[in-house]
């Protein structure tokens, strides 16, 4: 029998639904497009010597096409269904570092399965900093394409509500990926179990 402590993080009882030792749980990164989930996830996986899984990349591999093409040919609804199936299954596994697509947490089932089975880390940037990421990502993010900055800001603000379900919020403004990963590892050290 494993021994572990109950712990409340961000007001949420991490062990409330499943008795999974915290050290075995997969770590899941959430946050708006371009905040750095893929970049930071990969770094943390290397530092913890865990597998890294980026759900967008896995879906692209399965369909043999970029997300933009999946949206254009099969539609967003199809993508969201696949994203839900993939993440729900993945969350039953342990010891991974997982970076979700920026819209995955829009689906309640995904929020619940991640919160119940994994440690969820929200990477946050304020809008003014995020704007600098826009040119880096616009080509490969169909949700942003054809929209004005005003419309994107509206989506950005609306999405903050869904990301508010998390175990840790990490402020990323003015920090390099390396500095953010150090901050995350410090937070994880405080978890017992």
Ligand X SMILES: O=C(O)C1=C[C@@H](O)[C@@H](O)[C@H](O)C1
User: Which residues of this chain interact with Mg ion, rule CB under 5 A?
Assistant: 37-38
Q: What is the DSSP string of 66-101?
A: -HHHHHHHT-HHHHHHHHHHHHHHHTTS-SEEEE--
Q: How far is the CB of 20 from ligand ATP (least distance, A)?
A: 25
How far apart are CB 92 and ligand X at their closest, in Å? 21
Q: Is 68 annotated as a binding-site member?
A: no
How many chain residues are in contact with ligand X, going by CB under 6 A? 9
**15, 124, 131 from 68: Cα distances, Å:** 37, 24, 21
End-to-end CA separation in angstroms for the chain: 13
Instruction: Kindly report the backbone phi and psi dihedral angles of residue 93, in degrees, each rounded to the nearest multiple of 5, phi listed first.
Output: -90, 165
102 binds ligand X (CB under 6 A): yes
Closer CB to ligand ATP, 22 or 97, in the complex: 97
Would you count residue 101 as binding ligand X (CB under 6 A)?
yes
Examine residue 103 and tell whether it contacts ligand X (CB under 6 A): yes
Binding positions for substrate are 56, 80, 102, 159
Binding positions for ATP are 34-39, 141
Interface residues with ligand ATP (CB under 6 A)?
31, 33-39, 56, 99, 101-102, 133, 136-137, 141, 172, 175-177, 180
């Amino acid at each position: 029998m494993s021994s572990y402590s109950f712990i409340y993080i961000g007001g949420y009882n991490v062990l409330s639904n499943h008795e999974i030792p915290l050290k075995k749980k997969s770590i899941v990164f959430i946050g708006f497009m371009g905040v750095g989930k893929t970049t930071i996830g990969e770094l943390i996986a290397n530092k913890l010597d865990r597998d890294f899984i980026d759900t967008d990349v896995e879906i692209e591999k399965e369909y043999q096409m970029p997300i933009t093409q999946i949206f254009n040919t099969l539609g967003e609804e199809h993508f969201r269904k696949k994203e839900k199936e993939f993440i729900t299954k993945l969350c039953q596994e342990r010891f991974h570092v997982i970076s979700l697509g920026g819209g995955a947490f829009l689906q309640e089932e995904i929020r619940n399965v991640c919160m119940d089975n994994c440690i969820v880390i929200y990477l946050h940037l304020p809008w003014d900093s995020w704007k600098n990421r826009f040119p880096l990502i616009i080509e490969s993010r169909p949700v942003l394409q054809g929209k004005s900055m005003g419309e994107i800001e509206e989506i950005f603000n609306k999405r903050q509500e869904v990301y508010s379900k998390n175990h840790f919020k990490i402020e990323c403004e003015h920090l390099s990926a390396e500095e953010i990963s150090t901050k995350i590892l410090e937070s994880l050290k405080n978890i017992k179990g």
